[in-house]
Amino acid sequence: MIITGIVAGGTGSRMGNNELPKQFMELGNKPLFIYTAEKFLGQSDYIIIGMNKEWLKMADFLVKKFLPDSKNIFLTEGGSDRNGTVKNIITFAQNHLKCSNEDILLTHDAARPFVDERIIAESISAIQKCDICTAAVPATDTITISHDGENADDFPDRSKLYLVQTPQTFRLGDFNEIYNSLSEDEKKTATDVCRLFMAKKRKVMLVKGSNENIKITYSLDYQIAKFMAEK
């Protein structure tokens, strides 16, 4: 079984003064998180959206408004951080949808609305031969490492650097096993699922991402996204 987990628990604080979290901002005449979820409809048995609890009622209304015929979309409360939201999505899948440890979860940012069918299909194919895979694209800018924020300490070889995107894909049971084995400090330092898996020496396979699979973080990203949606 294939489950998609849409991570939509953020507040969009870096977008500026917005009354609504960015996942509710309009894109293509619909809320951003709806625009993103639609990309997975044909390739998932279930779609579970992890949302801040104070916005769950609004999100439920919008799902029913824009996707009235979709019976496989569910909402659950997000966690205190990204991995906590993923954990809640998995708990919902296993407790309410009777999903098993062997079922596959594609976790994806609500703020990445331009993921395409190829990336999704290749992620599902790749997970058949690995523990976890993630979409990624080669870095095109020179990247430096700085420990004090003022001085450059190193310039890694750009040919070996990749920008990580989503979806990140893995089995429910593997996530539970790893997440439950980590200390609270380890959980805090792992900003996404790939770092959780690497903390337990699991190899992460790369799936070819796309330069169009942008994440809307700042107001400029949103302006670019609106242009792309109109095209």
pLDDT in tens, 12-22: 555 555 678 89
Q: Residue 110 CA to chain centroid, in angstroms?
A: 6
- Note the pLDDT of residue 128: 96
The single-letter code of the amino acid at 40 is F
Q: What integer pLDDT is reported at residue 15 of this predicted model?
A: 53
* CATH number given to 2-230: 3.90.550.10
Query: Which residue positions in the chain have pLDDT lower than 50?
Result: none
Cα distances (Å, whole numbers) of residue 199 to 152, 170, 183, 202: 27, 15, 11, 7
pTM of the model: 0.93
Each residue's pLDDT tens digit, 39-89? 999 899 999 999 999 999 999 999 999 999 989 999 999 998 999 999 999
What is the model's pLDDT at position 18?
64
At which residue do the structure tokens 């993923």 appear?
A: 86
